[in-house]
Amino acid sequence: MGKRKVAALEKIEADLAGLQYKIRKDPEAYEKEFMENWQQFDAAHETFLAAPVGADSNSLITFREQIDLIAHCAELYPRITASFPNALKDVLTKHHAVLEPTLREKIVSSLTLLRRKDVIDSSYLLTTLFPILITTPSKSLRMLLYQKILSDIRNTNTKTINHRVNRTMQTVLYNLVTSDRSSSKALWAVKLVRELWRRQIWTDAKTVDIMRQASLADNEKVIVGGVRFFLGGDKEREEFDDDSSDEETVDIKKVKHAIGINKKTKKSKKVLEKAVDRVKKQERKKTAPHPLNFSALHLLQDPQGFSENLFEKHLQNSKSKLALDSRLLVLQLVTRLVGLHKLTVVPLYSWFIKYLSPRQQSASSFLASLAQGTHNLVPPDAIEPLIQRIANEFVSEASASEVCSAGLNAIREICARQPLAMNETLLQDLVEYRKSKDKGVMMAAKGLLSLYREKGADMLRKKDRGKEATIGLKSGDIQKLKFGEEQVGEIEGLELLAKWKEEQKKRKEAERDPAERGDGGRKAEDDKDEEDGWNSSDWEVTSVDSSDSGEWIRVSDSEDEAVPEPSPKRQKLSSENPDEDDKENAGDEAVDFMKIATTQILTPADLAKLRELRMEANITKAMGGRKRKQELEARHVDEGLTAEQIEAPSKLRKSTREERIALAKEGKPDREEHKSTQAIRKSKKEAEGKSTTNKEKARRKNFMMTLGKAKGKQKRSLVATRNILKNHIERSKSGGRRRNGVSR
């Protein structure tokens, strides 16, 4: 293109830009000029439709600038520009494949601008752009349309949720996924839904249903996108929420101070306005109620049917051509659903048999999936063969330590969810591995032992049960597990509050004055004497039948006929069977707990104390002071189980000498032999061709060459020595003999 043509086009662009500014300032005065440009656009539009491929470049540039002018002024002349959106839609829909990229981008931007000015609504824009998104072969156009669609949906739902637009778009995406399950076009639906879910714009069950259909598609990329949404979509949403909440705070006083000092311009005024808006937005976020973000796995309408369909279509079906990594993702989703909702998928556990081998690729992922797919309602008969298989294949003296520790850890994770799947013989055999020399195997076996000390101590040998488990079995606190038994719901930590209140009551009773307490104080003193072994009856009579009950003994006139008289209350509480006494005592504690749960209303102070006691209990548990009750069973409900957690004990093994050397060399330069840091610097200088310092040269100087100078120093007078030192100090201050420190 010649210089004259370029100059002419630049002049046209400048004239149209100036006209646009004038029209927006005074629309009525420049209506005639706008009508002339509208007629020129209409003529150029007809010319372009007649020959869209062979259009002249100059006419295309003029056409593009006229589109830009009318798009910016369309809301000022709604009657004249009524057909403008349809004209742009017609050009873009029919000729997007042959349009010049710059003109195509200008048409898309103009439609978006018309949407921002409310000339067209959101449904019109989305139904125009989305069909082009899934059909165009141009990668740049697809990315542009994707960003525009995403931005429009986000802006539409900024102030309030636009249910009409959301329902329309969700129906379009749902039909796209279900119409052709083998097409890759559904991948755009997966991308849009996942991004809108991450930004918390779409959080309803309809969104989850679209991804459910995507997981059941025939195209592998669409399947993986849908499955990854269920496995990691909630985590992405939390991370995005954390990133958006960590925005840099704005100091309004500092901005105002800077504007007051610097020159006042329009730009500084805009900076202040933006800062004020940002502060207001942060304040609104602080005061806004926290949204109820339900997990995608909980919003599924039919988790049982979904898990069965996934398993039958992608895992059990021999015609499925999914890669191993994709099959593992599907398996993780199926087992996650089974464990979370406590579903029953009967063929799932027998399907695992052929994959439980150390030679199987990604064996730890299969073990983790099996563990998170187990729960307390799974029949023990279905799990027991799998545990036996893992023990035979993974846990043996001939297996590598990593394999053995992974097998033991997998068995522990499975038994944490269904303890009844283990038999006594196998358990006692596996527990013996705690004596292994490998640290990973030892820790995995100890974890299994600790688990059954809590869950089923009666299956262990007496020497392996431990102190607490043995006492619990004798007292009846630890009872035998039953299949399908569920725990009674309760308020977490309420027993801690009941215990604390009882202690406070006793302490206040003890602090009261004995004169105020009356008989109660005398009784407390008597009880204290009895505890110390200073009962008055022990001074008067000694009888074997008294036992150490601490009761008063009625003494007759004759000392030989001293007969203990048990109190009626003691007689009522005593029982022939000591086990019944233990049960009654346990019942008393339960009554105290249920009393505070059923007869008292917890005040705000009680709730605050309850939170404090829970925190103390959690700290004690973290420090190892208490048993971990149900955290192993409930851990997969929140996060799921990963292959890294199965392989964790193998990382505890002692590292070899080669591994320690490699770890020490990491991040250090390669060298053939060991050298000091000074020697490394010296060799580096020599390689770069740099000279040595004067001190280094003086050290290497021949002794006979320095002998004469040394003798001369001995013959100096004190005045000469003083002058030489003085000159040396002055030269040092001024930068040496060359005066390098003096600026010239």
Does residue 355 sit within a domain?
yes
Which pLDDT does position 86 carry in this prediction?
Answer: 92
Query: What is residue 434's DSSP assignment?
Result: G
Residues 25 and 106 both lie in one domain: yes
Residues 443 and 373 both lie in one domain: yes
Number of independent structural domains in the chain: 3
> What Å distances lie between residue 12 and 63, 71, 557, 607, CA to CA?
11, 17, 133, 74
Final residue belonging to a domain, choices 69, 90, 120? 120
Low-confidence ranges of the chain (pLDDT < 50): 1, 246, 289-292, 520-525, 527-591, 623-634, 636-637, 744
Which pLDDT does position 209 carry in this prediction?
Answer: 94
Residues 104 and 9 both lie in one domain: yes
- 107 exposed, middle or buried (CB, 10 Å; 0-12, 13-18, 19+)? buried
Which pLDDT does position 189 carry in this prediction?
Answer: 93
Does residue 496 sit within a domain?
no
Q: What is the pLDDT of residues 269-327, one digit of tens each?
A: 777 777 777 777 766 655 554 444 568 888 898 999 999 999 999 999 888 889 999 99
Give the whole-angstrom CA distance, residue 63 versus residue 102: 11
Does residue 233 sit within a domain?
no
Which pLDDT does position 369 carry in this prediction?
Answer: 93
* Sequence-ordered alpha helix ranges (H) in 199-357: 205-215, 220-245, 252-261, 266-287, 303-310, 324-341, 346-351
> What Å distances lie between residue 10 and 60, 64, 205, 491, 499, CA to CA?
14, 13, 53, 76, 85
Q: What is the pLDDT of residues 350-407, one digit of tens each?
A: 999 999 999 999 899 999 999 999 998 999 999 999 999 999 999 988 888 889 999 9
Which pLDDT does position 461 carry in this prediction?
Answer: 87
Final residue belonging to a domain, choices 652, 674, 700? 652
Residues 456 and 368 both lie in one domain: yes
Query: What is residue 696's DSSP assignment?
Result: H
Model confidence, pTM: 0.66
At 164, the amino acid letter reads R
Q: Which residues contact 48 (CB under 8 A, 6 or more apart)?
A: 55, 59, 60, 63, 91
For 382, the domain range is: 345-476+641-652
Does residue 274 sit within a domain?
no
Residues 647 and 733 both lie in one domain: no
Long-range contacts made by residues 355-361, C-beta under 8 angstroms, separation at least 24? 356/386, 356/389, 356/390, 356/393, 357/393, 358/393, 358/394, 358/399, 358/403, 361/324
Does residue 84 sit within a domain?
yes
Does residue 433 sit within a domain?
yes
The Cβ-side half-sphere exposure at 604, using a 13 Å CA radius, reads: 0
Final residue belonging to a domain, choices 79, 102, 120? 120
Does residue 628 sit within a domain?
no
Which pLDDT does position 654 carry in this prediction?
Answer: 63
Does residue 484 sit within a domain?
no
